[in-house]
Amino acid sequence: MHSGQKVLLRLIPAPSNTGIIFKRIEKESCKLIRATISNVVKSDREVILRENNTEIRTVEHLLAALAGCNVTNIYIELNNGELPIGDGSSKIYIDLIKEAKVVEQGEKEEVIKIDHPLYAVEDDSQIIVLPNDELKISYLVKFNHQVVDLQYASFKINEEIFIKEIAPARTFGFLSEVESLRKKGLIKGGSLENAVVISEDKILNDHLRFEDELVRHKILDLMGDISLVGCPVVGHFIALKSGHSLNIKLAKKIVDSYKNKG
């Protein structure tokens, strides 16, 4: 999406208690980057991880797919610094995971069950997580745009619902932002094949996959961002105009509250 370069990616089984680890295999070297909140170095329009001076970017769609399919131990091998964008959703990753199949490894999985509210705020954007017996995400976005203004969606998330209702939702952008983003070195590989693009008066793609596809993609991004906590989180996430940066702030608060005690 951003670098415009081709990349070869493989998903490889990992032993119990490995977690999610990216492996950059270039020029006969192998450098590891763990998918943890402490390795996040950028969360503006994409999530970039860095460990031992090695970066991996645009990780959110694959992380969402892994979270949605309850995959907690895996090596992700690739020969470049950015993950493939596919069609702009998590569908390509879901297809790979389903083809390879997921197995139970027999170890007891750590799960964080939210027992008190946590929240993060930036300007007019907010996100909060409340105690709940299952994972639920409620999301409201508002763009102040004549084509797409306000969208709201709320889902109780399980694997079936994620695969059917969330994973196919594509990333999106506004035509008015394209020039400035490309000047910043972003979206070099962006096109109507991998994103929903909105002009001043219409959506340029032939069709939407859902009437509220934009907010569903925001839910997808949130799932990928929160997965960087390092284990499943059970609670009700309520987001108002949130994005990667705010999602990551909340993920850090969850880690501080439940994993960094003592």
pLDDT tens per residue across span 178-237? 767 666 666 666 677 888 999 888 998 889 999 999 999 999 999 999 999 999 999 999
Strand ranges, E, within the chain = 9-13, 20-26, 29-34, 40-42, 48-51, 54-57, 74-78, 112-113, 118-122, 125-130, 136-142, 150-156, 172-174, 196-198, 233-234, 236-240
Determine, yes or no, domain membership for 98: yes
- Among 36-50, 117-131, 168-182, whose mean pLDDT is lowest? 168-182
C-alpha dihedral sign at 7, 196, 44, 182: positive
Residue range 240-261: mean pLDDT, rounded: 94
**Which pLDDT value is given to residue 192?**
78
* CA count, 13 A, side-chain hemisphere, 152: 4
Task: Report, as residue numbers or ranges, the catalytic residues.
Answer: 244
With a CB cutoff of 8 Å and minimum separation 6, the contacts of 49 are 22, 33, 34, 35, 39, 40, 41, 55, 56, 57, 59
List, for residues 27-53, the tens digit of each pLDDT value: 667 789 999 999 999 998 889 999 988
List, for residues 72-108, the tens digit of each pLDDT value: 999 999 998 899 989 999 999 999 999 999 999 888 8
Determine, yes or no, domain membership for 2: no
User: For the whole model, what pTM was predicted?
Assistant: 0.93
For the record, the structure tokens of 216 come out as 């569903």
For the record, the structure tokens of 215 come out as 């907010």
Strands 172-174 and 233-234, by their bridges, are unpaired
List, for residues 57-69, the tens digit of each pLDDT value: 999 999 999 999 9
| Structural domain span for residue 220 | 9-258
If one counts the domains in the chain, the total is 1
Determine, yes or no, domain membership for 136: yes
**Which pLDDT value is given to residue 25?**
87
**Which pLDDT value is given to residue 181?**
66
**Which pLDDT value is given to residue 134?**
97
**Which pLDDT value is given to residue 180?**
74
Residues in the chain: 262
Determine, yes or no, domain membership for 229: yes
Axis-axis angle for helices 60-68, 213-226 (nearest 10): 80
Q: How large a percentage of the chain has pLDDT more than 70?
A: 93
CA–CA separation, 57 vs 47, rounded Å? 6
Determine, yes or no, domain membership for 165: yes
**Which pLDDT value is given to residue 65?**
98
CATH number at residue 14: 3.30.1700.10
Has residue 1 got a pLDDT over 60?
no
Residue range 140-147: mean pLDDT, rounded: 88
Determine, yes or no, domain membership for 69: yes
With a CB cutoff of 8 Å and minimum separation 6, the contacts of 198 are 145, 147, 148, 172, 173, 174, 175, 204
- Residues facing 34 on adjacent strands: 21
Identify whether the C-beta of residue 217 lies closer than 8 Å to the C-beta of residue 137.
no
For the record, the structure tokens of 255 come out as 């880690």
Determine, yes or no, domain membership for 3: no
Has residue 3 got a pLDDT over 80?
no
